[in-house]
Structure 1
Amino acid sequence: MVDVEEPGARWVPGFVLLSAIWGSSFVLIKVAVDAGVEPVWVALWRCLFGALALWAVWLASGAARPSIPRDPRTWGHAAVVAALHNAAPFTLFAYGETHISSVLAGVWNATTPLATLLFVLFLLPSEHPTPRRLAGLLAGFAGVLVVLGVWRGVEGGVLAGSLACLAATTCYGAGFTYTRRFFSGRSDSASALIILQLTFATLELLLVAPLLGGGAPGWPGLLPAACLVLLGAVGTGMAFLLNMRVIRAAGSTIASTVTYVTPLWSTVLGALLLSEPLGWNTVAGGALVIAGVLFARSGTRRGEVAAVR
């Protein structure tokens, strides 16, 4: 993928739209799980509809369509990335939202760059933990404690849901590090790699969903079904393509900051559409998490931490 900034601010509309799409995904997940859709099935439908949307775009591209990789090693790396970037975290976020609000899940998503930095700093030999980065990570961790409100105790359900979301962002962090080292640098088209990734994620979830999701899924109702289609086709499939355009127009450094904007959308939409409560510690802790990320990343090289979903 080419990382070249275009002059002006032509990337801004796409950036705002992308943040709104990804911010609204937490509301869509909440509607689905509240309707009784098992978390693993939420993840499966998300990947399936996302993959179908990208395959449709690929087929409509005609002669301009990129070739799908056939190298077995690329397929192997795609399977690992699919598990770390899609299958596992999508399931964990959906499970988390069976216990916590979409507002809180959106805030936890903002810890993704912190998790990514942890893996980048300690698993990539070329990167070294500097005092600035460690201080930023500590500030982000303090923000996590504030969001949880540890001084007043944490209910079992809230703790379980929050830990699931944090495990999801940890998967994102591991997935980004693996992607950077083994997957994104390949000569294949970025869009073709994403298609392969979501296809493998769908296949992986097809294997485990009947076991973890209690057999075949039932009809959740028209609204939850529509939310799942939107979550997959738009919030996953088309959003990946839009994210590529933003990266190419503004550079991956600017594109990665979409992670800081999505909690604003998830908070507003969760409060307005689902009447979810918003505590002061959620706002203050989320701000501290973002401040820690910004401080830790201020010394990173261009494009070091990209936006992942």
Structure 2
Amino acid sequence: MRHRTTVVFLVLSAIWGTAFVVTKVGLDSLPPALFAAVRFDVAAAVLFGVALLRSDRLRPASRAEWFPILTGGALNIGVHHAFLFSGQVYVGSAVAAVLLGLIPVITPALTRMTASADRLSPVGAVGVLLGFVGVVVIADPDPSNLLGSDLLGVGLVLASAVAFALGAVLTHGAESDLPFFSTQAWMMLVGALVLHGTSVALPWESFAAAEWTPEAVAALFYLAVVAGAGGFGMYFWLLDHVGPMEASLLEYVIPVFAAVAGWLVRGTAVDATTVGGFGVIFVGFLLVKREDVRREFVRLQDRGRAAARDAD
């Protein structure tokens, strides 16, 4: 299970990191909130299809089963993306990346709302802060832009970070007997409805302004099926297995994959500053996960000694 969660964590980071590049393609032709809403419409349809084939029950039957659906769908998908896309009208991507990097910093404070809250050690807290510094280094925002950004935009993106962290904390540990795929399908649908409402409410959004080019449609289906249905499925699985604080560390690895994907697909330069940011994030991870790293190192040492004895 230890190795499975590591693989899921890295695969999800890669998927959501490359999604930044794909999103830019779609936003060339589609209004942001509408783009996100239709993305989760398609994701919900895919997951309902999977649930019909794989699950023995499709509909929630109790308040306990509706709670994670409404919480995760509204906060992690709907409210998070609604605030994020609205805020990005006023602030640039670098400022947004820095503010989203606060999710692992916000999450430990929010976990104190639960009785079974995880706790960060002082060394772990230093690791989390180092990870945030690494995100800032990679984003490399212009300080004058960061300080001069529209206060409304900063507030909206920060609200999106809080919504995502709060959704993770409230959803983690929720007891539900509804099958996994059915739960995920309803979450996508709830999130899509919130985003459609946002699209209608935003004065700069217009369905008539959408241009459904082949590139936009391809981006939509990648984000809906791979990053949406698959990505959020992996995220909520990870949340159940490692908890909200460790799952929040995705926000420190996603920029690494986003930078590499931008370099491979769009030719965006990966300079010394970006590589330095990677290094700072890596050190932060080692501090947060130092006990796991130590146990793995001891296990490999024991395996090596056992192999040497067998060879003798």
The alignment's TM-score, normalised by the length of structure 1, stands at 0.72
* 1:81 Cα offset (Å): 2.2
Could you tell me which residue of structure 1 aligns to residue 22 of structure 2? 28
Measure the CA separation in 2 of the matches of 1:80 and 1:87. Answer: 10
Structure 1 gaps, min length 5: 301-309
Matched letter for residue 109 of structure 2: L
* 2:47 aligned partner: 54
Counterpart for residue 176 of structure 1: 168
Q: After superposition, give the CA deviation of every residue in 1:219-274 in whole Å (9 maximum; x if it has no partner).
A: 242201220121012211123345577789xx537x94665543332112212323
Deviation, 1:185, is 2.5
Q: Distance in 2 between matches of 1:15 and 1:285?
A: 19
Deviations 1:66-125, CA, capped at 9 Å, x for gaps: 442132454355223212100122234445666545x886787665433322321x3234
Contact 2:138 2:255 in 1 (8 A): no
Q: Please give the alpha-carbon distance, in whole angstroms, between the structure 2 residues aligned to 1:143 and 1:242.
A: 24
Q: Deviations over 1:12-55 (max 9, x none)?
A: 776654443222111121112233x2221122022111111101
* Counterpart pick for 1:210 among 196, 200, 203: 200
CA distance in 1, matches of 2:269, 2:280: 19
Letter in 1 for 2:265: L
The answer to whether 1:223 aligns with 2:215 is: yes
Shift of 1:280: 4.2
Structure 2 CA distance for aligned equivalents of residues 159 and 274 of structure 1? 31
Q: Deviations over 1:173-206 (max 9, x none)?
A: 111111125xx32233232222221111112222
Q: Bigger radius of gyration, 1 or 2?
A: 2
Please give the TM-score of this superposition, normalised by the length of structure 2. Answer: 0.71
Share of identical aligned residues, percent?
A: 23
Query: Secondary structure of 2:263's match?
Result: helix
- d(CA) in 1 for partners of 2:212, 2:254: 27
What CA distance in whole angstroms lies between the structure 2 residues aligned with 1:151 and 1:268? 21
Q: Report the CA distance shift for 1:96/1:243 in structure 2 as closer, same or farther (over 3 A).
A: same
What residue is the counterpart of 1:304 in the other structure?
Answer: none
Letter in 1 for 2:222: L
The structure with the greater share of residues assigned to helix is 2
* Structure 2: distance between partners of 1:258 and 1:135: 17
Specify the alignment match of 2:261 in structure 1.
269
Alignment of 1:200 with 2:194, yes or no, is no
Superposed, 1:1-309 pairs within 5 Å as 5=1, 17-35=11-29, 37-61=30-54, 64-72=55-63, 74-94=65-85, 100=92, 111-120=102-111, 122-127=112-117, 128=119, 130-143=121-134, 145-147=136-138, 149=140, 153-154=144-145, 156=148, 166-180=158-172, 184-212=174-202, 214-217=205-208, 218-242=210-234, 252=242, 256=247, 260-278=252-270, 280-285=272-277, 287-289=279-281, 291-292=283-284, 295-296=287-288
Two-structure CA RMSD over aligned residues (Å): 4.0
Matched residue SS, 1:188: coil
The answer to whether the 8 Å contact 1:23/1:106 transfers is: no
- Which residue does the alignment assign to 2:295? none
**Conserved in 2, the CA contact under 8 Å of 1:44 and 1:206?**
yes
Distance change >3 Å, CA 16–CA 289, structure 1 → 2: closer
Code of the aligned partner of 1:85: N
| Distance change (3 Å), C-alpha of 1:86 and 1:145 | same
**Any gaps of 5 or more consecutive residues in structure 2?**
293-312
Residue identity in the other structure for 1:139: L
- Quickly say closer, same or farther: Cα 1:56–1:104, change in 2 above 3 A: farther
Q: Contact 2:47 / 2:182 at 8 angstroms: preserved in 1?
A: no
Q: Distance in 1 between matches of 2:212 and 2:276?
A: 36
* Residue identity matched to 2:226: V
Do the aligned partners of residues 216 and 24 (structure 1) sit closer, same or farther apart at CA in structure 2, a change above 3 Å counting? same
- Contact map agreement 1:116 1:172 (CA 8 A) in 2: no
